[in-house]
Amino acid sequence: MRRAGLYDPRFEHDACGIGFVADAGGRASREIVDAALAALNRVRHRGAVAADHRSGDGAGILLPIPQSLFRDWAQRAGLFPSAPLGVAMAFLSNEPGDDGNRQRQQFRQLLEAACRQEQLQVIGWRVVPVEPEALGDAARRSAPRIEQAIISTAEGGGAFDAEARGYCARKRVERAIAASRLRGYLASMSFLSLTYKAMCAADQLAAFYPDLRDPRFIAPFAIFHQRYSTNTAPSWERAQPFRMLCHNGEINTIQGNINRMHAREGRLGSDSLAPEAVLVPVIDETGSDSAMLDNALELLVQGGRDVRQALAMLVPEAWEGFDVDPGLRDFYRYHACLMEPWDGPAGLVFTDGVRVGAALDRNGLRPLRYAVCEDGLVACASEAGAVDLGGHGLVRRAKLGPGEMLCVDPQNGGLQENEAIKRRLAAQEPYGRWLDEQLHPADTGEPAEDIPTDLVARQAAFGYTKEEFTYVLRPMASQGKEPIFSMGDDTAPSVLAQSPRLLYSYFKQRFAQVTNPPIDHLRERLVMSLRTYLGPPAPLLYDGPAAARLVQLDSFVLYPAGLEALRSLEAPFTSSDLDATFPVADGAAGLQAACERLARDAEQAVRAGATILVVSDLAASQARAPVPALLAVGTVHHQLMRRGLRGRTSLVVETDEAREVHHVVCLLGYGAQAICPRLGLASIEALASAGHLKGDAGDGRAAQQRYVEALEDGTLKVMAKMGISTLDGYQGAQIFEIIGLDEGLVEFAFAGSRSPLGGATFTDLGEQVLARHATGFGAASPSLVSPGFFKHHKQGTEYHATNPDVVDALHAAVPAQEAAAPVKATAAALVNATGAAAKEMSAAHALQRAVATGPDGNGYPSYERFARLVNERPPTHPRDLLAIRPGGPPLPLHEVEPASAIVRRFSTGAMSHGSIAAEAHETIAIAMNRLGGQSNTG
């Protein structure tokens, strides 16, 4: 599905039932297939159906190719291949008539040509038998024509060699489809495994595909999946399993994973697999987050890595804060140099076509239970009891813990549990020696006592305010924590603000929701990490000591001394400074010109060999104005992405602008890997030196350390509320929504971010930068202002929706002594209520009475004043810009349906208990009961 209006497929979520059934000895049987289909039926409750009660969210099964079934087909077609057959499961256009025939034929020709390029041969096309009456109406209407291309190897080679060539052929087909905009999708294309899936409920899958009931359809294992589309529209393509895995959960870091995979394109190190042009784009962005994880796993496995190693790279366990085996720690440390985590709650079932297994994310937020039977049957599922174990002898039951893995490998002893798998992974290579020889641990530096002579001028030019020191910076330096504010912000969005605000304020942090839990950064600190790497990352498919040749920092926050130490490193850690300022004389247009220059300079520096770029606004002065740090970072990051150079360098920011937690998480989210908040540190030193910090006695060093601790702790908290555990998973993930920036500007510097509204342009931002610059470097005696961004005050310029005038008017309209008696429907509730609850209910009835009594009632003039203050306020929300379009001449009342009948069709949206308070649920229910409408509690 494509983006349209406010709909964006990137924000779809799902929750699923998953599992596998396998024979530990690799013996193929019909019993395995039947057990998997029965287990799939038992997790049917994990899915949902459409209004026709039959079209499901999607269900599927993935299993090894039953060679006997397809050889029988080939022999009936007069074909007698000697090598094992491969099968491509193709979903073709269902368009009727000549146009549909043309599209289907074009797809077949594309696939056959791609196979020839990989020395494979399509020996025939098999129309997959289906029974459409098993589906619901919606699924039947959208059902593709399903065919299987039967493929043989045109020359010698093993099964895994043929598998790699089949993968490359499929990538060629996908590129051609994307270029031609044909409708076509390959659910699987392999010499080892085959996927049957449909937009149906679990118990309809075998009824729809007669193949799954064929006695010849035997397998040593089978993976099953029932999809639940939490807030998505079901589709045939998004049903699971995919080609190598099925997934229950969310990938919270997905945008960053996509961006970083794009950054690697151009130097994947794929020479032994295929020319890189065949493999890119690695990630198919039309798929779900689960499908994209499948894309990444495929590349790593086809590139030569064991499937267990590849999955441990993508979804590592929490190794940073736990006491794990030193060899295993080295394994994870080494692979962290190559791949950032695909982080989020995840239950995974995987296969490479020979082995089958399961794994959990580092937090273990999606359950997987397994059972091992005496006769070798191994069953794993998201629910206990999904697989019938009767008749298989004694059973040992267990569950996977956080970060654990299970695998059935018939070629190497059968069942392998977590400890054995991890031991094997750790012993594959001398990872510890490689790290000792290549990895360069670096220090973030020590606090400095330097205070610039033009401190106040720089503070004013970079938008510091008096209230920011009072409410934010002093508490950070005193307590080592980000200050806590009330939920919500009653000021206008930045694009509507009466006083210009910094660019960071246009970016709103997203958070985990729907089926996706946030984590507690205090309780779960052991699974979290702020580790970051700088330097030239090795090609993804490379496996050797040079991959560890990076600079490692334990935190992203650098003191000036730490930054200078980075600048002094020798090759291969060559740094280059990028000036993020522009001449004041250039006017507002100078900002866009400076960004375009930054983009060019960054590209040239990387091509010249710079592996650490330092974006710096230190040159800001009376003659030069700073480019907003977030705009500078986004510009450089996305320019290098567009040029295929981002994977060759690291991005460090030296800025006088960023000083709050939200500022640094924005910079990290748009590509920064380390940040030196130079003026923020100097400002804390100045506060301590002046004695403005309680208990510090002028100890600026301790104050700076607490300030850095506050930045780090606040960053962990922001990551945790999105369910992300590691900084390298958050970097470049762009987990923000932009409110009020021009579309062209967003595409230039923040491409891929959700931005539902237009707004400020380069010129607008340039004018704001110059206005701030003038208050600092342009003033004879610069001083800081208090516009009232954090708290309303009389001298402030920023309007607050709940300012004292509005609150006073509301109180005047509903004085406590005039609280009306409750209506009969809620009399008992009010009688039983006590304390604050009684006062709130009483006030609500008083407001209702004030409005209902009309102009002659005692409360109406006060209510009228309150309503006027709200209705005539400056635009504070986007909705304040809307006007109701005239509806034409009024109709006589007798022609209009009465309000009492209209409101009976009202219903409230479903929100689960816990997402809003019990009081809110009850209040909504009371209101809808009074109206005669419907209250959906979720």
Q: What are phi and psi of 485, to 5 degrees?
A: -115, 170
From CA 370, how far away is CA 60, in angstroms rounded?
20
Closest CA to 359 of 429, 303, 297, 407: 407
Both tokens assigned to 205:
């899958």
Any bridge partners for residue 29, and if so which?
219
From CA 789, how far away is CA 452, in angstroms rounded?
26
From CA 21, how far away is CA 392, in angstroms rounded?
13
Q: Is there a catalytic annotation at residue 16? A: yes
Using DSSP's 3-state secondary structure scheme, residue 370 falls into strand
To the nearest 5 percent, what fractions of the chain are helix, strand and coil? 40, 15, 40
The beta strands (E) that lie in 24-117 are given as 55-64, 86-92
Residue type, 708: V
**694-697, long-range: CB within 8 Å, 24+ apart, which pairs?**
694/478, 695/478, 696/477, 696/478
Closest CA to 15 of 345, 401, 368: 345
From CA 318, how far away is CA 332, in angstroms rounded?
9
Using DSSP's 3-state secondary structure scheme, residue 563 falls into helix
CA dihedral sign, ordered 769, 770, 775, 778? positive
Q: Angle of helix 804-813 relative to helix 835-852, nearest 10 degrees?
A: 80
Both tokens assigned to 904:
């009976």
The beta strands (E) that lie in 647-787 are given as 650-655, 674-677, 736-738
Give helix then strand counts, H and E, for the chain: 31, 27
Distances (CA, A) of 230 to 48, 510, 870: 9, 18, 37
Both tokens assigned to 795:
């001298």
The beta strands (E) that lie in 201-264 are given as 221-226, 245-249
Q: From the candidates 16, 115, 337, 676, which is the catalytic residue?
A: 16
Contact of 754 with 8, CB cutoff 8 Å = yes
Question: 3-state secondary structure string, 564-583?
Answer: HHHHCCCCCCCEEEEECEEE
* Order of strands across the sheet that contains 120-127: 120-127, 145-153, 86-92, 184-190
Place of tokens 């082995």: 355
Straight-line distance from the first to the last Cα atom of the chain, in angstroms, rounded to the nearest whole number: 26
Give me Rg for the CA atoms of the chain.
31
**227-254 in b/e burial notation, b at 16+ Cβ within 10 A?**
bbbbebebbbbbbbbbbbbbbbbbbbbb
CA angle 789, 735, 358 (to 5 degrees): 145
Place of tokens 């958070």: 511
Other CB atoms within 10 Å distance of the CB of residue 481: 15
From CA 43, how far away is CA 652, in angstroms rounded?
48
Using DSSP's 3-state secondary structure scheme, residue 427 falls into coil
What is the DSSP code string of 162-219?
Answer: HHHHHHHHHHHHHHHHHHHT--EEEEEEESSEEEEEEEE-GGGHHHH-GGGG-TT--B
Residue type, 926: I
Both tokens assigned to 435:
């790290």
Both tokens assigned to 557:
């926050």
Using DSSP's 3-state secondary structure scheme, residue 38 falls into helix
Active site residues: 16
